[in-house]
Amino acid sequence: MAATMFGLALTGTYEFARGYAGPGILLAVIAEIGFGVSFARIWLTGRQEKT
């Protein structure tokens, strides 16, 4: 899930850089990065507790 969120953020940034999306896409990119970091932290924390 975290990789998907980071991929979507990268795609949004690419679309903005190419001019296919307006500045509103940056809000989505920020949210996707936040979700990606959150999912990664939860996954890593849960992974460490099991070992």
Spatial separation of the C-alpha atoms in residues 45 and 49, rounded to whole Å: 6
- Going by pLDDT thresholds of 50, 70 and 90, the confidence category of residue 51 is low
Which pLDDT score, from 0 to 100, does residue 48 have? 77
Which pLDDT score, from 0 to 100, does residue 49 have? 72
Tens of pLDDT along 6-50? 999 999 999 999 999 999 999 999 999 999 999 999 999 987 776
Neighbours of 21 (CB within 10 A): 17
User: In whole angstroms, how far apart are CA 6 and each of 10, 19, 32, 36, 49?
Assistant: 6, 20, 7, 6, 25
Asked if residue 32 lies in contact with residue 5, where contact means CB atoms within 8 angstroms, the answer is yes
Locate tokens 């509103």: which residue?
A: 24
